[in-house]
Amino acid sequence: MALNFPNRSRSYDAAGQRIRFVGHDGMFEVPFTIEVGAIAKAKSAPATAEADYLAAFDDKRVAIMDVAREAYANGRKTIYALTASDFR
């Protein structure tokens, strides 16, 4: 089966400075993280960081999902951590 993202939910992990989201390959959940530096250019004040990072994720959702599919196709892992270097 192919990797899909039917659930648009995502969450911000302030401690790890990343956003978490999941894909699905059939009945299997495939967890992903993306570092905020890969999608956001400037750091926000802590009070608005979460909203800004989630908005940046939403703005770049199509590109993020494409990179996630490519990472998934390159080999199976328990979690996929996307970084700025994954985006060319």
Mean pLDDT, the chain, as a whole number?
90
For residue 59, count other CB atoms closer than 10 A to its CB.
Answer: 12
Structural domain boundaries enclosing 57: 3-86
d(CA 26, CA 84): 28
- What CATH number has the domain bearing residue 34? 3.30.160
Q: Which tens digit of pLDDT belongs to each residue from 28-60?
A: 999 999 999 899 866 666 667 889 899 999 999
Domain total of the chain: 1
Percent share of the chain, pLDDT over 90: 75
